[in-house]
Structure 1
């Protein structure tokens, strides 16, 4: 067994040209590396392999380029980013789950691993603490392991231990772990977090990353129940959910009862919480990030961000054009795992614009030099502050319309014009406003019909096929009552016209049943503005199995509220005289039946109070 030492002879441990790995995230052995730099003497051309390192990254500074050459799997911090941009460091893209095999298979053989661990327990085991990730594989694969023994390193459980006999050199130095405070949230980011939270069901298992959006998501999960955690990264936002009992892992189907992670980054309370906590399992990246293992969690939801998303759903998240900015990380691992999960949902969330609103992050095509990290086939949902785009099972044309809908309004017409150049959208497709501010901040309302839950929201251009399906579901009797005839065709062009509504003028609402990416229209309510009369004409149609269940009543109530808020003087409707149920809906809402020129048709009118009056 090697004898512990406090002063290292680096010339005996390393040789010029060696490849070494240094601990990642909050487990960077900073004082150990400082000692190497101070005592390198004749050493040079040492390749450092690393992930994100929460430190000053001094080894990547220009003054040390003859001693070190950095090869990073993830670009974190400006020092590393500048070194990569200037050619003094390399970036190697790789899925997080695949990095360990690069070491153990000898693709990137390691001469040494410089790691940080807790003091040994009575059995001789040191804990890798707050970062197991790829450190575990590096320690197994390296020819020698040099460990900084840090009394401030928490002891974590799972697969996080290394025996003292597997360490070749010891360096004792107390070092406070780097802390990252939760980010300040703005209104836009909070809105994104709110939309993402609406996609997460009680009993789901979640993966969240670092940054403002993920912090916002955790804030809006406070009222959820029985969530599970299977994530590569544990943060303070997640800690809050654990303490509130929101995350209790009670309904997890893989590692039930336990939060599974690979590393944690946050504040001292987080590090204190994971210390000797048997309910938190720290496992290597090849285990945590394995899509097959991720998929063993039913209702797995992965939440990641991006730099830009093109109108086919391709996700760019490691580069801005030719400038490499971050890395591949675990986004694809978790997106694929969530998509394989029973009831799973891979989500990409990002603000709609960048550079103070001057450029759109929903783009017609990715920038030159940018790389696709997550393919168009991986993504089920894209979320911005303008809503949720559902891409699963959508054609290229439908994807474009969904993504334009959640782009910033000032870029929507431009995006449609650009995408039209590639013939993804037919000539008759138009993009018009779809927001109805009167429905509230999230743009839709939840309602109950019996024991079923539904969403009341605006119709939008991407509903074209759904509206066709809705039309062809009707019986002849329903068509006769709604259209006063029996139309036999709803062409794609006609359907497109009906869903491409200028909602700032006319109004088209629908009630949908949504389960994941499966959406079915159950009822549609419209009004058409009659500008000359400052009035509007109202019409409804409901799927047969929900007729008489109150859907038309709810749609009418919403439309009356919108009409009032927009200052209309009245609302009117024409209903077939024998359609007694629909007549009752209007009359119960206050509409008055007036004389009609056609005895087979009833004319009803509702006078609205001036704005400001009830």
Structure 2
């Protein structure tokens, strides 16, 4: 028996035994995304009657965290999250999940100044050299492990072995306890079929992607639509530098569009910090040397993003106001997701040679009563969080066109954004712009068009 196997045997614990080391008042960090510790979470929830004021931090938990479900009053377990999943959103709506604001690329550095008593993380089985791979969830995890007083790893054989990069795994010498999970399949986020609106927006963005462009795609139907169009196009030699790797990247690679031949940073590699998708994606990542997993302070650092020629960053938004401010994480006081890496890539891509960043949204949505409302607003709803400030926003795209806001004055921004709003709301938006003092007097009908999108001069 090797020394690693001996250490493994000595550190093995039953889940309920491992969580006994968590005490009242502790800060407990969970593994991120699909590598959340589901077995340890369930075991910790069983101690709800014994503990008080245990603060849990997760990131995009797959489903509903057991600790939060076990204590709806949030007095024994206070559940916090860096970026909401659908389950986290439901818990937040019930008053049982609290958001932790951060810029994703800064996340690892936060653990130089915040406490972590116990880190619980799902990992791939130990290799012959004593390493546990973080699989599809590199992210901030190594920084948490270094800060935590105790590290508990939960073995799940379903987790793919993802090559680095760096910070993609942890050695058994850095681990305090090991538990076996029930090896359930990883949380899957299957690709959604893009809507007609998604496809129209994607078509506008495709006009700005060229051979050799380096691509970042956010989550959702519209980025998937771009990926689908790229896969079906004749583009070639695309690179990848992205925070999230999704199924659409597999489709683009298998179609021969991605070679990373001209990627200046991480050349020859699809660089990413986490992956969420279907089993097809996880199978693609497993021991694939073309993919490189890095901690997020490396992949999302704006100065690193900006080193790639023709960087194209594509992200969704909830609302945009007439000043050009972007909210992508809340609707009023209702928190929806998080800042994530949207700021990182919007800023970084613009500073790349030939780079562009796109904020995308459908022009309308429906409220809870089924009434159509504009997602381009005069001002943000009270409580809405600004994800990307107006000074950073580059391109904004709806199904009615795309506009570049860089270098535009307030009246030019108002004109540009109203030109890509839904036609039913343009007159109302013009009136609001006049009320706010960001509208020029003159013949508005000659200045507002349905673009592709070039505005007439005033």
TM-score, with normalisation over the residues of structure 1?
A: 0.69
1:28 aligned to 2:36?
yes
Give a deviation string over 1:113-169, Cα, whole Å, max 9, x none: 100111111111111001001122111211111000111111111121211111110
CA distances 1:61-97 after superposition (whole Å, capped 9, x unpaired): 26463431111121222x4224334443321211111
Give the match for residue 43 of structure 1.
51
Q: How big is each residue's C-alpha offset from its partner over 1:533-560, in whole Å with a ceiling of 9 and x where there is no partner?
A: xxxxxxxxxxxxxxxxxxxxxxxxxxxx
Q: In the alignment, does 2:444 pair up with 1:430? A: yes
**Which of 153, 170, 176 is the aligned partner of 2:178?**
170
Distance 2:296 2:341 in 1: 9
1:119 and 2:125 matched: yes
Q: Does 1:394 align with 2:408?
A: yes
Q: Output the CA distance in 1 between the equivalents of 2:228 and 2:358.
A: 17
Secondary structure at the aligned position of 2:33 is classed as coil
Matches of 2:19 and 2:264, distance apart in 1: 50
1:366 Cα deviation after fit: 1.1
Q: What secondary structure is seen at the aligned counterpart in 1 of 2:42? A: helix
Residue number in structure 1 paired with 2:61:
53
Paired position in structure 2 for 1:308 = 319
**Matches of 1:350 and 1:134 in 2, distance apart?**
29
Tell me by how many angstroms 1:300 deviates: 1.0
Structure 1 residue 416: Cα displacement = 1.1
Query: Separation in 1 of the partners of 2:191 and 2:407?
Result: 36
**Does residue 1:264 correspond to 2:264, yes or no?**
no
Cα 1:114/1:424, change in 2 over 3 Å: same
What is the rounded CA distance, in whole Å, between the counterparts of 1:276 and 1:57 in structure 2?
Answer: 30
For the pair 1:153 / 2:159, whether they are aligned, the reply is: yes
Report if the CA contact (8 A) 2:242-2:272 is conserved. yes
**C-alpha contact 1:31 1:175 (8 A) present in aligned 2:** no
Distance, in Å, in 2 between the alignment partners of 1:61 and 1:4 is 29
Give the Cα–Cα distance (whole angstroms) in 2 for the partners of residues 329 and 180 of structure 1.
17
The answer for the alignment partner of 2:419 in structure 1 is: 405
Kindly indicate whether the alpha-carbon contact (under 8 Å) linking 2:362 and 2:398 is maintained by their aligned counterparts in 1: yes
**Alpha carbons 1:83, 1:89 under 8 Å: kept:** yes
The answer as to whether partners of 2:241 and 2:270 remain within 8 angstroms in 1 is yes
Contact 2:60 2:88 in 1 (8 A): no
1:219 matched to which residue of 2? 228
334-343 vs 38-47, greater mean Cα deviation:
38-47
Q: CA deviation at 1:38?
A: 3.0
Where relative contact order (Cα < 8 A, 6+ residues apart) is larger, the structure is 2
Match of 2:308 in 1: 297
Cα distance in 1 for partners of 2:333, 2:279 equals 37
Q: How far 1:191 moved relative to its partner?
A: 0.7
Query: SS in structure 2 opposite 1:220?
Result: helix
CA 24–196 in structure 1, closer or farther in 2 if over 3 Å, else same? same
Distance 1:163 1:40, change over 3 A: farther
Supply the distance in 2 between the matched residues of 1:71 and 1:176 (Cα, whole angstroms): 25
Secondary structure at 2:388's aligned position in 1? coil
Q: How does 1:544-555 map to 2 (within 5 A)?
A: none
Aligned to 1:204: 213
Q: Say which SS state the counterpart of residue 456 (structure 2) adopts.
A: helix
Name the CA distance, whole Å, in 2 between partners of 1:62 and 1:75: 19
Matches of 2:48 and 2:441 in 1, distance apart? Answer: 68
Count of residue pairs brought into register by the alignment: 440
Q: Tell me by how many angstroms 1:37 deviates.
A: 2.3
CA RMSD in angstroms, aligned pairs only: 1.8
* Residues 462-485 of structure 1, C-alpha deviations (whole Å, 9 max, x = no match): 331xxxxxxxxxxxxxxxxxxxxx
Indicate if the aligned counterparts of 2:325 and 2:390 stay in contact, CA closer than 8 A: yes
- Measured against aligned partners, the alpha-carbon deviations of 1:301-338 in whole angstroms (never above 9, x if no partner) come to 11111110011210011111122221111100111111
* 8 Å Cα contact 2:18/2:179 also seen in 1: no
Q: Which moved more, 1:333-342 or 1:31-40?
A: 31-40
Structure with greater Cα Rg: 1
Retained in 1: the 8 A contact 2:319–2:376? yes
CA contact (8 A) 2:48 2:70 kept: no
Q: Partners of 2:160 and 2:49 in 1: how far apart?
A: 33
CA distance in 1, matches of 2:269, 2:91: 40
Which residue of 2 is the match for residue 535 of structure 1?
A: none
- Cα deviation, residue 418, structure 1: 1.0
Shift of 1:41: 5.9
1:281-360 alignment, distance < 5 Å: 281-355=292-366, 358-360=372-374
Structure 2 alignment gaps of length 5 or more: 1-6
Q: 1:14 is matched with which residue?
A: 22
Tell me if 1:277 matches 2:283.
Answer: no
Q: Is 1:143 aligned to 2:143, yes or no?
A: no
